A and B are shown apart, each in its own frame.
Chain A
Amino acid sequence: MSVMSKAVLTRAASGLSAGLRSREPGRREWLIIVPIVAVCALLPLVIQGRYEVGVMTLILIYAIAAYGLDLVLGHLGLVSVAHAALLTVGAYTLVILTTKYGVGYWWAALAGVGVTTLAGLLLAGITMRSRGHYFSVSSLAFAAVTVVVITQWTSLTNGASGIYAIPTPPGFDSTISLFYLSLIVLTAVLVAMFLLTRSTLGRNLRAIQADEVLAASLGINVVATKLKAFTVSAAIVGLAGPLFASWISYITPSSASIMEGFNLLVYVIIGGSATLAGPLVGVALVVGVTEAFRFTELYQTLIFSGIVFLVLLFFRGGVVGSVARAWSRVAVRRRGPEPAEVPEVAVGPGPVALPHLSPADRGGPAEPGKVLFEARSLTKKYGGVTAVSDVSLAAREGEIIGVIGPNGAGKSTLFGLISGVVGGWSGSASFAGRDLRRLAVHERARLGIGRTFQTNRLLNDETVLQNLVTAAYLHRPARGSRSADPDDGFLNTILDLTGLRAKANEVVSGLSIEEQKLVGVGMALAVRPRMLLLDEPFAGLRESETPRLMRLLEWLRDQGMVILLVEHKMRVLMSLCSHVYVLDSGQLIAEGSPDQIVNDPRVISAYLGTKNA
């Protein structure tokens, strides 16, 4: 029993990182839009009944909303139940403006999109700080409150009685023309979704979805990016609102209900979230099947439940996601792996010059000896436990500083304090003359603090190159540029420096631990830091690889970079560091040159004492 379930758990865990999250679509994947739109456009020639066309129109309208939802569901991992409420807000805006105030249809529709976007922004503002189930339930509450507000605001919304006689868009008053109008909007949304997933925003969203802490330490403003995504998502849903109102011709607050929100979610998940065709296929399947079996009365719901379970269990990425993966597996088997696109560059024996990391590139020459980072009396308590107690340290440009200590000494916490991941500390810290206290993680990254993590944090589903491209986000010259390496060879240089060139197009999760470590270092470099925090970069590194990394660090130091190094390999520390701090149980017990440290009795006892205990 327990053996089986352990296997189950491991499978679940590995499955989590097995390429089910959103990924960057290939350059030519937009081609899939063409057959989708073509099939939709031709359908009314085959299926002509008014009811059938009506259902197909509804499918298209729901699909538009589903894409909006998928932007936050598939690309941010936020399970929102509030998108039906957003749709209803858009619909009501149109309805109220056209029927009560006599505003022209198109202006009212535009206002509908605008108001929905604002509502989305409000929702995002309220809920953005909460994650996971907190977010879901907050969105649920948002939907419920929307229903109550619409119901109670009778002077504007006519309350629970709803509003009828909703106009159709001028020139599109037949069933079939509304179908084509919806198709046009859907096509625009599809194209926008494709462009979005390949843009900087899309890349940043994937980074955030994979690992918020990592994303922030790459300089991505997590909250702002989420807000942006949510606003775009709401705007897309807003497009569906007026169409929905015109289709239904009578609207009540119940369209905003939690149940409707759940339905949208089911559409996306059944179809396959974070795929280009998934939401549409999901809506078509669910709505189509429900309509087809409406007359089986109650059994319809049971049958439907059965189908959902089967899809959840067997089509694990949704219908489209699973089919796409099965297809790519077949394709890979036939064609062999895709050839690497990275051009070969001759690698010399020494470290390649990295002009972007040179001081000149940062707008001012380095001043070796100038204090870049200084911390006084840093203290961090977790409940009753003091993880870091009264630690002061300073780092000058062009220095490699070692931080050592036995396990649990507080080294990683210290790094967390400096990079901003750990909050709620006392003491003071400044970097390049700026007080760090009020700066968020991404702001510190932008100031020039780059870091790696002890337990590697990478975008596991993406290739090495994609990882680096995401990391170089801050310094991309042209926003929205879609070239893989926009930065005249900068990323290529990093690939060479870290020795990862041959692996550039491999997915990170398939690499060895050692290679993953190097990817981490490469990403930290891509942020172009002035100070680099490296958490045990040499651990697990082969002996033959160690000198390469050491040379790299030395070269970076010579360029004026500050490197804070947590490391257990004493030999490496001895040869690299000019100054070493020793932590034990959160306290600074010694500091000085490497030679002084190794002979310090307190250090010896701390190490031997704990090691032998």
Chain B
Amino acid sequence: MQVLANGLALGAIYALVASCLLLIFGILEIPDFALGGRIMVGGYAGYFVAENLGLHYWIAVVAAALAAGLLGVVSELAVYRWLRNTPRPLLSGFIGALVLLTATEITVQLLFTADFRKLPSPYESQILDFAGIRMTEQRLLAGVVALVLIAALHAYLRGTRGGRAMRATLEDRRGAEIVGISPAKTALIAMLLGSCMAGVAGALLGPMYLVYPTMGDAILIKGLIVIVLAGMRSSLGAISAALLLGIAESFGASYLSVGFSDAYAFIFLIIALMVRPNGLFTKSVLVR
């Protein structure tokens, strides 16, 4: 049971990061590696607000969202928009996003050094214990906030005008354009939302896993695996895939060889793609 709980907590965070990646990929068609940098910037913003200014943890979380959101908007305006404008947007986006990630990490390192920091949170030292399943409040909180944010995103996509416009773009880019939805504006909003959520992820992870320049890398790769598992388009699939991945990793490390624990996600992915080459949660697409 403990193993299952570990897996679910992990999976919820994966789901949050994957949802951001998916939103941005769906609108911008860029695999946004630099999101890892924004997770990290969120962690740093949270750290400075909570540790240096001594403000409450929740204010730190909001600050993290704002900082990462701002960086997301800047990235879109200064970099991604221009990369999409190149002849091979997929390839340029791939490389450009990666380079942007490195640039973000180095900039932060230059500004604040590569030291590890711990984001203080009142929930980190409280341990919950239900029937032998132990978990810190922070871990539970991270999982819950992640799921709430994902739900909120979906409510936005379904319930508001802007959200519906975005969903239209997700489903049919050309069609949306013809109906008069501005792709540039949609892209900006997607980057803002996705980055804010990534920032929150950073602030949630900070107390558990420390804050440092490359803190976003590992989780980003997991998020990427999740959206590929889910078939790049399916948001509900992404959530299921994220939880599945978390559980698979947790069980793999606990019951199979621990030595390979870092590889379970990848092995899981390879097997899944061998069975379903275009994602677990995709329907067959019409090819003419």
Residues of chain A whose beta carbon lies under 8 Å from any beta carbon of chain B: 1-2, 4-6, 8-9, 11-12, 15-16, 18, 20, 79, 126-127, 129-134, 136-138, 140-142, 144-145, 148-149, 152, 213, 258, 262, 265-266, 269, 298-299, 301-302, 304-306, 308-309, 312-313, 316-317, 382-383, 412-413, 416, 421-422, 424, 453-455
Q: In the complex where A1-B185, A144-B266, A152-B260 touch, is A421 in contact with B287 (Cβ < 8 A)? A: yes
Centre residue among B98, B182, B270 by max chain A CB count within 10 A: B270
Contact B90 A132 (CB under 8 A): yes
Contact A145 B182 (CB under 8 A): no
Contact A133 B228 (CB under 8 A): yes
Contact B95 A312 (CB under 8 A): yes
Q: What are some 17 contacts across the A-B interface (CB < 8 A)?
A: A2-B185, A5-B183, A133-B232, A136-B31, A140-B221, A141-B270, A141-B273, A148-B262, A266-B98, A298-B110, A301-B103, A309-B79, A412-B288, A416-B287, A422-B288, A424-B284, A453-B288
| Shortest beta-carbon distance from B171 to chain A in Å | 15
Contact B262 A265 (CB under 8 A): no
Residues of chain A within 8 A of B269, CB atoms compared: 137-138, 141
Contact A317 B96 (CB under 8 A): no
Contact A5 B184 (CB under 8 A): yes
Q: In the complex where A1-B185, A2-B184, A152-B260 touch, is A137 in contact with B94 (Cβ < 8 A)? A: no
Residues of chain B within 8 A of A145, CB atoms compared: 263, 266-267, 270
Residues of chain A within 8 A of B94, CB atoms compared: 79, 136, 265
| Shortest beta-carbon distance from A2 to chain B in Å | 4
Q: A5-B183, A422-B286 are in contact. List 17 more A-B contacts (CB 8 A).
A: A1-B182, A2-B185, A16-B87, A79-B94, A134-B273, A138-B228, A138-B269, A138-B273, A141-B265, A141-B273, A144-B263, A145-B267, A145-B270, A213-B288, A269-B91, A308-B99, A416-B288
| Shortest beta-carbon distance from A434 to chain B in Å | 23
Contact B106 A302 (CB under 8 A): yes
Contact A138 B270 (CB under 8 A): yes
Q: In the complex, A266→B98 CA distance in Å?
A: 10
Q: Is B68 an interface residue (CB 8 A)?
A: no
Q: How many residues of B contact A (CB 8 A)?
A: 57
Residues of chain B within 8 A of A316, CB atoms compared: 86-88
Q: In the complex where A301-B102, A305-B102 touch, is A130 in contact with B95 (Cβ < 8 A)? A: no
Residues of chain A within 8 A of B177, CB atoms compared: 6, 9
Q: Is B84 an interface residue (CB 8 A)?
A: yes
- Chain B binding surface SS class: helix
Residues of chain A within 8 A of B83, CB atoms compared: 312-313
Closest to A151 in B: B259
Residues of chain A within 8 A of B267, CB atoms compared: 141, 145
Q: Is B278 an interface residue (CB 8 A)?
A: yes
Q: In the complex, A133→B28 CA distance in Å?
A: 14
Residues of chain B whose beta carbon lies under 8 Å from any beta carbon of chain A: 31, 79, 81-92, 94-96, 98-100, 102-103, 106-107, 109-110, 177, 180, 182-185, 221, 224-225, 228, 232, 257, 259-260, 262-263, 265-267, 269-270, 273-274, 277-279, 283-284, 286-288
Contact A313 B184 (CB under 8 A): no
Q: In the complex where A152-B259, A312-B96 touch, is A12 in contact with B84 (Cβ < 8 A)? A: yes
Contact A317 B183 (CB under 8 A): no
Residues of chain B within 8 A of A140, CB atoms compared: 221, 224, 266
Tell which of B102, B180, B263, B284 touches A148, judged by Cβ atoms closer than 8 Å. Answer: B263
Contact A269 B266 (CB under 8 A): no
Q: In the complex, A138→B64 CA distance in Å?
A: 32
Residues of chain B within 8 A of A266, CB atoms compared: 95, 98-99
Closest to B89 in A: A12
Contact B106 A309 (CB under 8 A): no
Closest to B88 in A: A20
Q: In the complex, A321→B89 CA distance in Å?
A: 16
Q: In the complex where A301-B103, A305-B102 touch, is A134 in contact with B262 (Cβ < 8 A)? A: no
Contact B91 A130 (CB under 8 A): no
Residues of chain A within 8 A of B107, CB atoms compared: 302
Q: In the complex, A421→B91 CA distance in Å?
A: 27
Closest to B267 in A: A145
Q: In the complex, A299→B111 CA distance in Å?
A: 12
Contact B232 A298 (CB under 8 A): no
Contact B31 A133 (CB under 8 A): yes
Tell which of A137, A301, A317 touches B106, judged by Cβ atoms closer than 8 Å. Answer: A301
Contact A126 B287 (CB under 8 A): no
Contact A2 B90 (CB under 8 A): no
Q: In the complex, A416→B284 CA distance in Å?
A: 15
| Shortest beta-carbon distance from B206 to chain A in Å | 23
Residues of chain A within 8 A of B265, CB atoms compared: 141
Contact B278 A141 (CB under 8 A): no
Residues of chain A within 8 A of B283, CB atoms compared: 383
Q: In the complex where A152-B259, A312-B86, A424-B284 touch, is A79 in contact with B91 (Cβ < 8 A)? A: yes
Tell which of A4, A131, A413 touches B184, judged by Cβ atoms closer than 8 Å. Answer: A4
Tell which of B89, B100, B182, B221 touches A5, judged by Cβ atoms closer than 8 Å. Answer: B182
Q: In the complex, A299→B110 CA distance in Å?
A: 8
Residues of chain A within 8 A of B89, CB atoms compared: 12
Contact A308 B88 (CB under 8 A): no
Residues of chain B within 8 A of A130, CB atoms compared: 273, 277-278
Q: In the complex, A8→B106 CA distance in Å?
A: 31
Contact B95 A421 (CB under 8 A): no
Sorted nearest first, the 9 A-B pairs with minimum C-beta distance are: A15-B87, A129-B277, A141-B266, A148-B263, A5-B184, A2-B182, A305-B103, A130-B277, A137-B228
Contact B270 A142 (CB under 8 A): yes
Residues of chain A within 8 A of B90, CB atoms compared: 79, 132
Closest to B188 in A: A1
Residues of chain B within 8 A of A133, CB atoms compared: 31, 228, 232
Contact A16 B88 (CB under 8 A): yes
Contact A213 B262 (CB under 8 A): no
Contact B87 A12 (CB under 8 A): yes
Q: In the complex, A304→B79 CA distance in Å?
A: 15
Q: In the complex, A8→B283 CA distance in Å?
A: 31
